[in-house]
Amino acid sequence: MPQGPRPADVPKIRRTVAVYKVSSIITGSFLLLLCLMMVLRYGFGVDIELGGPYGFLALTPKELIAGINLSTFILIVHGWLYVLYLACDFLLWRYIRWSFGKFLFIALGGIIPLLSFFLERRVPRDVEAVISSISPGAAGAEATPTEATA
């Protein structure tokens, strides 16, 4: 079985990279919010409250929250965004046929703060290098079937 992506998968790879770039930035941003929330919750004993009796946005002890608990919202949203990030990582791993270690390294981008911002720049460059190495015609994935056979 040949190593590397199939030329027919190039359009799927490009779409996946586009979604990956967006998801890595958003997931990384929510991870930074999550780190801030953890410091506030476990370091100072307060959660972020929206629309409570202490103002529009307030730091409130968890047992006194009467409005929306933004800390819980941040936890849930980051979790679901990480699932999207992992799905993109899995698809790239599957299409490009990278090693499992590379899959795990990219997956760490949603767990280690700031790593997703670094990977958002690096992974698309690696993907482009792989795509351009499979064949000269694959880099211009917009070729129609008649052009590819000519």
Q: Which pLDDT value is given to residue 54?
A: 86
Indicate the pLDDT class of residue 1, thresholds 50, 70 and 90. Answer: very low
Task: Please give the torsion angle defined by the CA atoms of residues 68, 71, 73 and 78, in that order, rounded to the nearest 10 degrees.
Answer: 170
Residue 60 contacts residue 70 (beta carbons within 8 Å): no
Mean pLDDT on 6-19: 91
Mean pLDDT on 124-148: 68
Q: Is the pLDDT of residue 92 over 80?
A: yes
Residue 3 contacts residue 97 (beta carbons within 8 Å): yes
